[in-house]
Amino acid sequence: MQPELLNVADYGRAAEATLRRDLFDYYDGGALDEITLRENVASWQRLKLYYRVMAGVTSRDLATTVLGRPVSMPVLVGPTAFHRLACADGEPAAARAAARAGTAFCLSSLSNTPMEEVFGAASSPKWFQLYLYKDRGLTRELIARAESAGAEAIVLTVDAPGWGNRERDARNGFRLPPGLSVANVAPVGKGDFPEVEGSGLAAYVRTHFESALSFDDLDWLCSTTDLPVVVKGICRGEDALRSAEQGAAAVVVSNHGGRQLDTAPPTCDALPWVVDRVAGACEVYVDGGIRRGSDVVKALAYGARAVLVGRAILWGLAVDGEEGAFAVLEILRRELEEAMLLCGYGSVSDIDGSVLKP
């Protein structure tokens, strides 16, 4: 780790200095006024940790399981698009970093690298994030390919029936540079953005993604694959419970990193409602604004089994490829271990709500 890069925010600033402005804005930006984007971070920061003293903690055990698979810590690599905007090796570099850190890796549908190549580089638990295409046959093919390539779960994104108005992308006319495409569907002619003014990605989504998502689609997915299904993009408790009742093995409390509905609640605020309503019917994860190991403690105290990080990995890739992504994960590991010691916890399984509400 470079001495000037001590935390996730340092990597964010270094990535901004490294990347072309339109590419950094694509990674960093949110919808409209970016209120939810900022609140995702600020809400974790506002939560206070009521630490215990003289707890006799001699060691810290960060290990847990997700979907029955062991991981070295409750910090997973969430799905983010277009890694080759950050570094030439792209998604395989992120997958190798996750494997080195002993944690799960989730590949986005909007990958610049075919899933078979990425999953071949991942020796840790690997999941495939799915957007439903209007072409249901293509969607079936993506699921079948993910199964054959070794994916261990399908993560259905449900908070994007339309595409949030990301004004940075519209101003920049965001599109993929020459030589890059949506690699998983490029062979069927759906890998390139339409030629339009404004955001090429927004136009791509309007052209190809299913906008009329319903719980019938979740039923269809659960009947189509034998893999565990994770529903990502949950904000409300009743939606989480219904997802579990219809076969989801887990839900992710997420607002798409503040990139969809601006003024949606930060995930920190939505998480307790979801955990309470689900009441153990499925596993609950959370993403959005996780920047410190202490944020992970807070998420676990609210009842999440694990957190997913996205932008932090992209920033690491932009600064130093696989090494940068691995360094970011190790920063979060060290900070989590330190926060557990200072809060009086020897194991992540011991973290409970008393640290937030004494």
Residue ranges per domain, the chain? 8-53+73-344
What letters, b where the CB count within 10 A reaches 16 and e where it falls short, cover 200-235? Answer: bbbbbbeebbbeebeeebbeebbebbebbbbbbbbb
Whole-angstrom distance, CA of residue 219 vs CA of residue 213? 11
Please tell me the predicted confidence (pLDDT) of residue 132. 95
Answer yes or no: 256 catalytic: yes
Quote the tokens at residue 128.
Answer: 């495939």
Quote the tokens at residue 272.
Answer: 């307790």
What letters, b where the CB count within 10 A reaches 16 and e where it falls short, cover 55-90? Answer: eebeebebebebbeeebebbbbbbbbbbbbbbbebb
Its pTM stands at 0.96
What ranges in 173-266 are assigned the alpha helix state H? 200-208, 215-224, 237-245
Whole-angstrom distance, CA of residue 129 vs CA of residue 233? 12
Whole-angstrom distance, CA of residue 327 vs CA of residue 320? 9
Please tell me the predicted confidence (pLDDT) of residue 122. 81
Indicate the pairing of strand 69-71 with strand 64-66: antiparallel
For residues 280, 286, 291 and 292, what is the CA-based torsion angle, rounded to 10 degrees? Answer: 0
Rg (CA), the chain: 19
Please tell me the predicted confidence (pLDDT) of residue 357. 84
- Counts of helices then strands in the chain (DSSP H, E): 13, 10
Whole-angstrom distance, CA of residue 198 vs CA of residue 221? 33
Please tell me the predicted confidence (pLDDT) of residue 289. 97
Please tell me the predicted confidence (pLDDT) of residue 195. 86
Reading the chain (358 residues) residue by residue, the pLDDT tens digits are: 566 899 999 999 999 999 999 999 999 999 999 999 999 999 999 999 999 999 999 999 999 999 999 999 999 999 999 999 999 999 999 999 999 999 999 999 999 999 999 999 888 899 999 999 999 999 999 999 999 999 999 999 999 988 999 999 999 999 999 999 999 999 999 999 988 889 999 999 999 999 999 999 999 999 999 999 999 999 999 999 999 999 999 999 999 999 999 999 999 999 999 999 999 999 999 999 999 999 999 999 999 999 999 999 999 999 999 999 999 999 999 999 999 999 999 999 999 999 998 6
Stated as kind and residue range, the H or E segment containing 41 is: helix 35-46
Please tell me the predicted confidence (pLDDT) of residue 184. 96
What letters, b where the CB count within 10 A reaches 16 and e where it falls short, cover 260-299? Answer: bbbebbbbbebbbbbbebbeeebbbbbbbbbbbbbbbbbb
Please tell me the predicted confidence (pLDDT) of residue 353. 97
DSSP letters spanning 153-197: -EEEE-S-SS----HHHHHHT--PPTT---TTTGGGT-SS----S
Please tell me the predicted confidence (pLDDT) of residue 2. 66
Tell the CATH superfamily of the 8-53+73-344 domain. Aldolase class I (3.20.20.70)
Quote the tokens at residue 255.
Answer: 């607002």
* Residues paired with 287 in a beta bridge: 308
* Residues paired with 182 in a beta bridge: none
Q: Which of 256, 259, 291, 333 is catalytic?
A: 256
